């Protein structure tokens, strides 16, 4: 079995184990804490609601557009956040002055709870606009990704950097040929961490700004005592997030195995 195949197998096994643990914890919380079954719905209840009830098809049809909207919002925040993180990390590596000028602002934004500054962001970008979703989602993604990519870029071999310099390469060439390829494990790690972060940012943006998607409907489901829909929507977005996380991990393990780099899965 090739290294890439072993990496994929480990990733799939990890994904299955994670799903089993999540379902077990969910069942334990619902059944062992004494919460009213009218409010708390377990894995079996949600499965029946979505797949075996007479109206299961209607229930799935109701959930589908909400899920698509939330995933679209999460993808927007993920892409914007990752791109900004990579650009800033490269800019910091090229110029100490840029890092000293921008990093304090980044730390300031990081230190303030997103819920506290979200109203200001919405006021500037407009309520219900894609810009508000992109900004809120990207802030959640940006800082963990920036720290991870910066760490990866700083781990380049000094001997390799000196070799590029001896052959006449400048700092930009060193980045392109040494720093960036060596930072791939950190970049993939940032992408994995950013997937659930992007989903969280999308849910927050929908709740505070757009009123659409799962984030916008959770409060409405709760207020109208539609607990089946509430638990089903939360379960769906959780499962999809786990799937996406593990898809990124599979891609990471395959790419790093082909490049002869250590993979994240053991």
The pTM of the full predicted model, rounded to 2 decimals, is: 0.87
Tell me the average pLDDT across 89-98.
85
Tell me the average pLDDT across 172-177.
83
pLDDT tens figures, 123-170: 899 888 889 999 999 999 998 899 899 888 888 778 888 888 787 888
Please state, as a whole number, how many other Cβ atoms lie within 10 Å of the Cβ of residue 21. Answer: 10
Contacts of 189 (CB under 8 A, 6+ apart): 148, 252, 264
Q: Tell me the percentage of the chain whose pLDDT exceeds 70.
A: 95
Q: How far apart are CA 235 and CA 224, in angstroms?
A: 19
Q: How far apart are CA 206 and CA 222, in angstroms?
A: 15
**Beta-carbon-side half-sphere exposure of residue 257 (alpha carbons within 13 Å):** 20
Please tell me which residue, 262 or 83, carries the higher pLDDT value: 83
* Beta strand extents in the chain (DSSP E only): none
165: enclosing H helix or E strand: helix 158-166
Q: How far apart are CA 91 and CA 13, in angstroms?
A: 38
pLDDT tens figures, 116-134: 888 888 889 988 888 999 9
Q: Would you mind telling me the total number of residues written for the chain in this entry?
A: 266
Tell me the average pLDDT across 223-241.
92
Burial readout 203-230 (b: 16 or more C-beta within 10 A, e: otherwise)? bbbbbbbbebbbbbbbeebeeeeebbbb
Please state, as a whole number, how many other Cβ atoms lie within 10 Å of the Cβ of residue 122. Answer: 21
pLDDT at 264 over 60: no
Cβ 90 vs Cβ 154: under 8 Å = no
Q: How far apart are CA 23 and CA 181, in angstroms?
A: 38
Please tell me which residue, 170 or 224, carries the higher pLDDT value: 224
Q: Which stretches within 155-262 are classed as H helix?
A: 158-166, 171-174, 180-182, 184-205, 213-223, 227-258
Residue whose structure tokens are 């892409």? 79
Q: How far apart are CA 19 and CA 33, in angstroms?
A: 21
Which phi and psi angles does 71 have, rounded to 5°? -65, -35
**What are the structure tokens assigned to 46, written together?**
């949600």
């Amino acid at each position: 079995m090739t290294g890439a195949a072993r990496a994929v197998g480990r990733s799939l096994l990890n994904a299955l184990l994670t799903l089993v643990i999540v379902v077990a914890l969910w069942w334990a919380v619902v059944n062992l804490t004494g919460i009213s079954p009218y409010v708390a719905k377990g894995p079996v209840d949600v499965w029946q609601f979505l797949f075996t009830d007479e109206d299961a098809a209607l229930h799935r049809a109701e959930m589908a557009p909400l899920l698509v909207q939330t995933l679209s919002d999460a993808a927007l925040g993920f892409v914007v956040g990752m791109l900004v993180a990579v650009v800033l990390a490269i800019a910091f590596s090229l110029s100490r002055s840029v890092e000293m000028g921008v990093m304090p602002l980044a730390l300031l934004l990081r230190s303030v709870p997103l819920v506290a500054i979200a109203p200001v962001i919405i006021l500037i970008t407009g309520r219900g606009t894609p810009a508000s979703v992109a900004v809120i989602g990207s802030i959640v993604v940006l800082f963990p990704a920036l720290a991870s990519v910066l760490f990866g870029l700083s781990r380049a071999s000094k001997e390799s950097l000196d070799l590029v310099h001896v052959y006449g390469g400048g700092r930009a060439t060193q980045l392109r040929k040494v720093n960036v390829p060596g930072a791939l494990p950190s970049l993939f790690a940032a992408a994995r961490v950013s997937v659930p972060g992007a989903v969280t940012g999308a849910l927050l943006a929908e709740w505070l700004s757009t009123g659409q998607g799962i984030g916008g409907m959770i409060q409405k489901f709760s207020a109208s005592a539609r607990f089946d829909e509430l638990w089903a929507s939360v379960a769906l977005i959780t499962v999809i997030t786990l799937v996406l996380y593990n898809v990124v991990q599979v891609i990471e393990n395959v790419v790093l195995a082909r490049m002869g780099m250590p993979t994240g899965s053991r």
